[in-house]
Amino acid sequence: MARMMKAGKLISVIGDEDTCTGFLLGGIGEMNKERKPNFLVVEKDTSVSEIEETFKNFLQRPDVAVILINQNIAELIRHVIDAHTNPIPAVLEIPSKDHPYDASKDSILRRARGMFNPEDFR
Amino acid sequence: MELKTVCERLDELVVELFDKLEDLTAARKRMDDHLKQGFFNLAKARYSLGVKGVGQIQYAAIMDPLVHVHLSEEDGCNKFNLDRIIPNKSSSGAVKKVSFDDQESKVRRRHTGRGDEENDEQKERSDEREEDEEVAQLSSGVEELELRQVANPHSLQDPLRWFGILVPPCLRHGQHSFSQVIAQSCQVANLQSQIDQLRLEYRQLLRQKQQLVQQSA
């Protein structure tokens, strides 16, 4: 039987301007009391360290349940995404306008593929 | 647990895992389709509103989420349920509606000749009654007012209003597409969580199987 744990968590986004605009139109945007948003618009001049720091902040925020990140941006901080093994927040890699989704790069699918080690079947 | 039962359970897990992977691929495909549609509609909206017309400049300074995710635990894995608040349309279109009502009442007053005095008397009476009621409910009124202020802030408006009152239909369609993407993303998160859970169970059983094989050898 289902057991409710906590109510009303957020979906956060790290992506290009179009991705963020679309999801904010969908109604996920929040600006909290400390004026910290639950999204990051990645532009040409956004540094990798800034993306990494924001992603880590989202991981630590207790009110975030799902993190949506463009796959091309996820590639820049792959080591941080691979290190995250907790089920909450769930990290979803999504395509962007000019980078289609590639399943072979997805962390979850790569982990699932790693289950089948040829040595296990001997 | 016997070796045979462990092997059978492992087989079941593999079949279950492939089913989930198939579901995940299908859910991803649907999400990608909606996203594509959303990006296309945003591009069309940008064409009609201008290059800078659809972007982060238009984001509201104060915003509250209209979408929440509720977490529940089911069979050992987390389940993500989506909850959507439909924004109050009266708050967004209030100015226009009020001005329209005012105009209408003025027109009525101008056209009714003799009945004006009667109407005014009735209105005064009703106003007095309302005032009495207000005085009687003064203590609770303050609380209600506060509640109303909290429940109906400007931040809980439809994000479409950031881009103007008369937005192009493609922006509205884009919003619909992205709402569907958000709903799909919850399904994808659920499937990912289930796959992760299956993976952990599989690894654990595989270790157990290896131990049993070593013991029997």
Q: Which CATH number fits the domain that encloses residue A69?
A: 3.40.50.10580
Answer yes or no: is A24 within a domain. no
A45/B154 Cα distance (integer angstroms): 32
Answer yes or no: is A64 within a domain. yes
Q: How many CB atoms lie within 10 A of CB B110?
A: 9
Q: What's the domain range around A60?
A: 10-14+29-34+46-115
B145 and B99 in a common domain: yes
Answer yes or no: is A77 within a domain. yes
Query: According to the model, what pLDDT value does residue B31 have?
Result: 93
Dihedral of alpha carbons B163, B166, B172, B174, sign: negative
* pLDDT tens sequence across B71-81: 888 777 788 88
Answer yes or no: is A39 within a domain. no
**Is the model more confident about B137 or about B7?**
B7
Answer yes or no: is B207 within a domain. yes
Query: According to the model, what pLDDT value does residue B90 have?
Result: 52
How many domains in chain A? 1
* pLDDT tens sequence across B27-65: 999 999 999 999 999 999 999 888 888 888 888 888 888
**Average pLDDT of the segment spanning A97-117:** 83
Q: What's the domain range around B122?
A: 92-151
With CA atoms as reference, report the closest residue to A61 among A83, A94, A36, A78.
A36
Please report, for residues B31, B158, B175, B183, the alpha-carbon distance to residue B187 in angstroms, rounded to integers and kept in the order given. 10, 24, 19, 7
B107/B101 Cα distance (integer angstroms): 10
Flag whether pLDDT at A49 surpasses 90: yes
B16 and B39 in a common domain: yes
Cβ–Cβ < 8 Å for A79, A56: no
Residues 50-109, chain B: which have Cβ within 8 Å of A?
Answer: 54-56, 59-74, 77-80, 83-85, 87
Angle at which helices B169-216 and B3-49 pack, to 10 degrees? Answer: 160
Query: According to the model, what pLDDT value does residue B177 have?
Result: 94
Flag whether pLDDT at B146 surpasses 50: no
Flag whether pLDDT at A115 surpasses 80: no
Query: According to the model, what pLDDT value does residue A103 have?
Result: 85
Question: ipTM of this predicted complex?
Answer: 0.87
B47 and B22 in a common domain: yes
B144/B130 Cα distance (integer angstroms): 16
Query: According to the model, what pLDDT value does residue A112 have?
Result: 79
Of B65, B78, B202, which has the smallest distance from its Cβ to A115's Cβ?
A: B202
Arithmetic mean of pLDDT over chain B: 76
Flag whether pLDDT at B143 surpasses 50: no
Query: According to the model, what pLDDT value does residue B147 have?
Result: 42
B134 and B109 in a common domain: yes
B144 and B170 in a common domain: no
Flag whether pLDDT at A21 surpasses 90: yes
Please report, for residues A68, A78, A85, A94, B179, the alpha-carbon distance to residue A91 in angstroms, rounded to integers and kept in the order given. 6, 12, 10, 10, 18
Answer yes or no: is A20 within a domain. no
Q: Taking the complete model, does pTM exceed 0.90, yes or no?
A: no
Answer yes or no: is B174 within a domain. yes
Answer yes or no: is A59 within a domain. yes
Answer yes or no: is B166 within a domain. yes
Flag whether pLDDT at B98 surpasses 70: no
Cβ-Cβ pairs closer than 8 A, A with B, add up to: 152
B166 and B146 in a common domain: no
* pLDDT tens sequence across B147-167: 444 444 555 678 888 888 888
**Average pLDDT of the segment spanning B177-201:** 92
Contact state of B192 with A9 under an 8 Å Cβ cutoff: no
Answer yes or no: is B72 within a domain. no
Quick check: B32 contacting A, CB < 8 Å? yes
Arithmetic mean of pLDDT over chain A: 86
Query: According to the model, what pLDDT value does residue A102 have?
Result: 87
B36/B54 Cα distance (integer angstroms): 17
How distant is the alpha carbon of residue A72 from its chain centre? 12
Flag whether pLDDT at A44 surpasses 60: yes
A contacts of B59 (beta carbons < 8 Å) = 21, 24, 29
Residues 7-66, chain A: which have Cβ within 8 Å of B?
Answer: 7-11, 17-18, 20-31, 37-38, 41, 65-66
Amino acid sitting at position A35: R
How many domains in chain B? 2
Query: According to the model, what pLDDT value does residue B82 have?
Result: 87
Query: According to the model, what pLDDT value does residue A4 have?
Result: 45
Provide the token pair at A79. Answer: 């080591």
**Structure-token match 């009020």, residue found:** B98
B56 and B8 in a common domain: yes
Answer yes or no: is B86 within a domain. no
Answer yes or no: is B186 within a domain. yes
